[in-house]
Amino acid sequence: MEYVIIKESQTVLMRIFLFITIIVYSIISYLVIEFSILLSILFFCIGIFLAGFSKVYKITRDFNNEILFILYGKIIWKSKFYIEYPDYISVFHASFVQRYEDDGTENKFKKWVIRFFKGNTHCTILEDDNYNNVLKTANDLGTLLRVEVYDRSKE
């Protein structure tokens, strides 16, 4: 294995919701608000683009890492991904809070996280809901980079 591809999962339901939202908005903006047909087409094209767009990390054995921007399975842009070579990799369950300042509400959610640790610093590589996917990715990275993987779910 020469590299590991890390892609955060986007559910099919989220993609369907995005398509429906853009189509409905395009139709309503044309019929009700009487925008031009070009503006409706623009909104629809933006939705199609966003539904097929994803960002993935390519971690290589020689640590010449890249961020790949992908549109419907085709790489449209590559960029260097600068991180320090880890001393170890950690997998753990983290809680996140998302606050909305305008109405004072907040959402709390938990995700499984992979982090590279180098000394006292860390870099978050992946956040996902599926523990098995996260653990498999962390073990693949540990094998590729020849570093130890600590699974904090057992503690």
Query: Which pLDDT score is estimated for 151?
Result: 87
Q: What is the pLDDT of residues 122-133, one digit of tens each?
A: 988 888 888 888
Q: Which amino acid is present at 59? A: I
Contact 76, 70 (CB under 8 A): yes
The DSSP symbol for 47 reads: H
The residue ranking higher by pLDDT, 49 or 121, is 121
* 47, 109, 127 from 150: Cα distances, Å: 40, 22, 16
Q: What is the pLDDT of residues 62-116, one digit of tens each?
A: 889 999 988 888 999 999 988 889 999 999 988 767 777 777 777 777 788 899 9
Q: Which amino acid is present at 131? A: Y
Contact 69, 55 (CB under 8 A): yes
Model pTM score? 0.71
pLDDT band at 146 (very low <50, low <70, confident <90, very high): very high
Residues with Cβ within 8 Å of residue 45, at least 6 apart in sequence: none
Q: How far is 61 from 144, CA to CA, in rounded Å?
A: 6
Query: Which pLDDT score is estimated for 15?
Result: 67
Q: What is the pLDDT of residues 4-62, one digit of tens each?
A: 988 876 656 666 777 777 777 767 766 766 656 677 677 777 777 777 788 889 999 98
Q: In what order do the strands lie in the sheet with 105-118?
A: 121-128, 105-118, 88-100, 148-151
Beta strand 105-118 pairing with 121-128? antiparallel
Contact 118, 86 (CB under 8 A): yes
R_g (Cα) of the chain, nearest Å: 20
